[in-house]
C-alpha cells in the first residue's frame, strides 16, 4: 500500500488530479490507514496509469471512463473499444487537417511581410480582413461574423 503522494510520483500525476479522479468516479476510493491517510494498492496504480496514458493520447474523460468499463469486463467484445478509438482517430485527423491549414495560412502571412511600418504590415492586414485568407472556411467565418 502506498500514500497518495507516492502514487502521484509513480504515475506522473498530481495529488489534486488523483483526488479529482476519485471524486468523478474514475478511480475507486482509497482505503484508509488508522491515521485516516489514503492508501493505494497496485490496482490503483494500474488504473491511474491507464487513465494517464489515455489522457496523454488525447482521449476525453468520458472516453477513458468507457474504456475503463470495458477493461473491467475482459469477456466483452472488443468492438466497443475499437469504436471509441476510431472516433478519437477521426477527431485527431480533423484537428490535424485544421492545424495544417492554419500552418499554411500563418506561413503565407509571415512570408508576405514587407517590413516597414504597421500601416503596411501583412500580418495586421490579414488579421483585419478575412478575404485575404486562403482557407475558404476561415474566410467564410469572417464573412459570417459580418452577417450576424
pLDDT, tens digit (0-9, with 9 covering 90-100), for 90-141: 999 999 999 998 898 888 888 877 777 887 787 887 777 777 666 665 545 4
List residues bridging with 39 in a β-sheet.
Answer: 31
Average pLDDT over residues 65-89: 94
Domains and CATH numbers, the chain: 4-71 (1.10.1660.10), 79-147 (no CATH)
Neighbours of 55 (CB within 10 A): 16
Q: What is the pLDDT, as a whole number, of residue 88?
A: 97
**Which grid cell sits at 27?**
478511480
Q: Give the 3-state secondary structure of residue 113.
A: coil
Instruction: Output the CA torsion 12→14→19→24 (10° steps).
Output: -70
pLDDT, tens digit (0-9, with 9 covering 90-100), for 5-14: 999 998 889 9
pLDDT above 50 for 62 = yes
What global pTM score does this model have? 0.72
Tell me the C-alpha distance between 117 and 97, whole Å: 33
Q: What is the pLDDT, as a whole number, of residue 142?
A: 46
pLDDT, tens digit (0-9, with 9 covering 90-100), for 31-43: 888 888 889 999 9
Tell me the C-alpha distance between 11 and 134, whole Å: 44
Q: Which residues of 102-111 are buried (b: 16+ CB within 10 A; e: fewer)?
A: eeebeeebee
Share of the chain above pLDDT 90, in %: 56
Amino acid at each position: 500500500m502506498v500514500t497518495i503522494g507516492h502514487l502521484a510520483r509513480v504515475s506522473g500525476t498530481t495529488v489534486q488530479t488523483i483526488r479529482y479522479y476519485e471524486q468523478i468516479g474514475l478511480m475507486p476510493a482509497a482505503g484508509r490507514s488508522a491515521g485516516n491517510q489514503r492508501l493505494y494498492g497496485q490496482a490503483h496504480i494500474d488504473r491511474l496509469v491507464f487513465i494517464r496514458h489515455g489522457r496523454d493520447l488525447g482521449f476525453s474523460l468520458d472516453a477513458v471512463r468507457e474504456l475503463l468499463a470495458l477493461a473491467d469486463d475482459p469477456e466483452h467484445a472488443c468492438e466497443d473499444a475499437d469504436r471509441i478509438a476510431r472516433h478519437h482517430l477521426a477527431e485527431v485527423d480533423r484537428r490535424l487537417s485544421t492545424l495544417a491549414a492554419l500552418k499554411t495560412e500563418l506561413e503565407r502571412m509571415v512570408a508576405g511581410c514587407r517590413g516597414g511600418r504597421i500601416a503596411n504590415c501583412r500580418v495586421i492586414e490579414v488579421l483585419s480582413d478575412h478575404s485575404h485568407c486562403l482557407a475558404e472556411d476561415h474566410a467564410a467565418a469572417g464573412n459570417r461574423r459580418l452577417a450576424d
